[in-house]
Chain A
């Protein structure tokens, strides 16, 4: 079992290393003629105005929060699903209750208008 994690480690290192090596190689091969005009940020083609890190919609933040809650809680359901055969009826009902709480959270966020894009 431990050795398979070693293989995964090798695999991840290779799969991150491949694009890195390719980019470094290309960087060596490619011409390098930087000039002040060339390295101005492109943006949309016209000259840039003001700061880049602008204010943004709070909606994105809300969605991020709701995602965080849901993602963490759904991960808890995985061991429950794997051990399903060994669970009694009570444990299954508990799991369903957990999903019910999740759904309650969803309805709450919905009613609060977290998903409205206005």
Chain B
């Protein structure tokens, strides 16, 4: 094994040889090295958050026509480090009347639940934390722990606004789990496996081509799961102060921040693995480091898309969020999955190109039907919005005429 083509495995083998040289059986040594590597991965992910925070602030800044962080270090690169040091030495204020155990547990769960997802992500052909055969289910299960943390935070804070945020979280985050889980079923069905690495290996043709609808639903739902704009109802600062983290201070507050940024990136990782072929690309099998690079580049593109949406969309109202989910996304997800199953069964005998063509066609048909029905379902609201816009225009006209008079 060459160092340049696969550094992680090379270092792993080298370390295993080193430990085995101390007089340990080869298998035990390999298990120890893997165990330590698995322990180091969350640490790297935590450090990676520093880069993510800088990157996101810079991109959001550019989107909003301002420079973003640019004072501390070249291009403001040291800014997150300075922020981290600052928040590290801030006092932890424990407000009166909080429910101590959930209050203190919440920030830990918010980060730990997100970090836990990293273990099944296949980074390259040879490097993947653990390739269990229920990877997709594991991601859903562990991803829900972060939600639990936010609910804990809101409920234990002894703050009405935080409590309201917790309710919104219950309603929004758990609702969007339904289309997410259903959309995740489609790649599982196409790959006939729940293991993340097998799902990646089953994508000579990316699943975003075969199942564009499921990919779209998964993408939007994962934004809603992170709770970022336009789904940032849990921390709507114009409505409920700062939402679920109002009563937190110091690093406990910082952990929610870390959890959110890491969650956004983790979801991009998972989206890439599920729909964009993960580490697949020319030469990725022979030179695993290339797979790592492909995986990273695809993830950055998905992540950037998420940030761009965050920087440009206004916030939904809670009723809009719920209706969008239950009246549009869930039926589409159900339809997309069942139709994918039917096509897989009926077109099993046909060639691959034919099968994929049918999949794409069927997806398009569902999309058209969904748009037609959806526009009728949401029409009542559209009329009201039109009336509102009319009234606004009238008010503006009135004000302008008045200012002319004076």
Give A contacts to B, CB under 8 Å. 1, 3-8, 10-12, 14-16, 18-20, 22-23, 25-27, 29-34, 38-45, 48, 52-54, 56-57, 59-60, 63-64, 66-67, 70-71, 74-75, 77-78, 81-85, 89, 92, 95-96, 99, 102-103, 106, 109-110, 114-115, 117
Instruction: Give the Cβ gap from B55 to chain A, nearest Cβ, in Å.
Output: 21
**Those 7 A-B pairs whose CB atoms lie nearest each other, nearest first:** A117-B319, A15-B115, A16-B112, A26-B251, A81-B189, A19-B111, A15-B42
Instruction: Give the Cβ gap from A70 to chain B, nearest Cβ, in Å.
Output: 5
User: Smallest CB-CB separation from A107: which chain B residue?
Assistant: B331
Q: By the criterion of a CB under 8 Å from any partner CB, how many residues of chain B are at the interface? A: 87
**Which of B158-213 touch A at CB < 8 Å?**
158-161, 163-164, 167, 170-171, 174-175, 177-178, 181-182, 185, 188-189, 192-194
Interface pairs (28), CB distance under 8 Å: A1-B132, A11-B41, A15-B118, A18-B46, A19-B108, A19-B255, A23-B251, A23-B252, A25-B88, A26-B250, A27-B92, A29-B88, A30-B91, A30-B250, A43-B160, A43-B246, A44-B161, A44-B241, A52-B160, A64-B170, A67-B177, A74-B182, A77-B185, A83-B192, A84-B344, A92-B342, A106-B330, A109-B326
Cβ contacts under 8 Å, A33 to chain B: 91
Contact A81 B188 (CB under 8 A): yes
Question: In this assembly, does B94 line the interface, its C-beta being within 8 Å of a C-beta of chain A?
Answer: yes
Instruction: Give the Cβ gap from A113 to chain B, nearest Cβ, in Å.
Output: 11
A56-B132 contact in complex given A39-B93, A99-B338, C-beta closer than 8 Å: no
CA distance A75 to B182 in the complex (A): 9
Instruction: Give the Cβ gap from A43 to chain B, nearest Cβ, in Å.
Output: 5
Contacts A78-B185, A99-B338, A106-B326 known; list 14 others, CB within 8 Å: A7-B119, A10-B38, A18-B42, A23-B108, A26-B90, A42-B241, A42-B246, A43-B160, A43-B241, A56-B163, A63-B170, A84-B192, A85-B192, A106-B334
Cβ contacts under 8 Å, A29 to chain B: 88-89
Contact B163 A14 (CB under 8 A): no
**Which of B111-150 touch A at CB < 8 Å?**
111-112, 115-116, 118-119, 129-133, 136-138, 142
**Which of B31-88 touch A at CB < 8 Å?**
31, 34-35, 38-39, 41-43, 45-46, 87-88
Q: For the complex, would chain B's binding face be called helix, strand, loop or mixed by DSSP majority? A: helix
CA distance A108 to B97 in the complex (A): 42
Question: In this assembly, does B327 line the interface, its C-beta being within 8 Å of a C-beta of chain A?
Answer: yes
Contact A5 B159 (CB under 8 A): no
Instruction: Give the Cβ gap from A32 to chain B, nearest Cβ, in Å.
Output: 7
CA distance A12 to B130 in the complex (A): 12
Question: In this assembly, does B345 line the interface, its C-beta being within 8 Å of a C-beta of chain A?
Answer: yes
A84-B31 contact in complex given A16-B112, A41-B159, A110-B326, C-beta closer than 8 Å: no
Cβ contacts under 8 Å, B110 to chain A: 19
Number of A-B contacts (CB under 8 A): 224
User: Smallest CB-CB separation from B195: which chain A residue?
Assistant: A82
Contact B130 A8 (CB under 8 A): yes
Contact of B330 (CB < 8 Å), options: A18, A44, A70, A75: A70
Identify which of B89, B133, B174, B193 gathers the most chain A CB atoms within 10 Å of its CB: B174
CA distance A53 to B95 in the complex (A): 16
Question: In this assembly, does B157 line the interface, its C-beta being within 8 Å of a C-beta of chain A?
Answer: yes
Give B contacts to A, CB under 8 Å. 31, 34-35, 38-39, 41-43, 45-46, 87-98, 104, 107-112, 115-116, 118-119, 129-133, 136-138, 142, 157-161, 163-164, 167, 170-171, 174-175, 177-178, 181-182, 185, 188-189, 192-194, 241, 246-247, 250-252, 255, 258, 318-319, 322-323, 326-327, 330-331, 334, 337-338, 341-342, 344-345
Instruction: Give the Cβ gap from B105 to chain A, nearest Cβ, in Å.
Output: 9
Identify which of B34, B171, B258, B327 gathers the most chain A CB atoms within 10 Å of its CB: B171
Contact A52 B129 (CB under 8 A): no
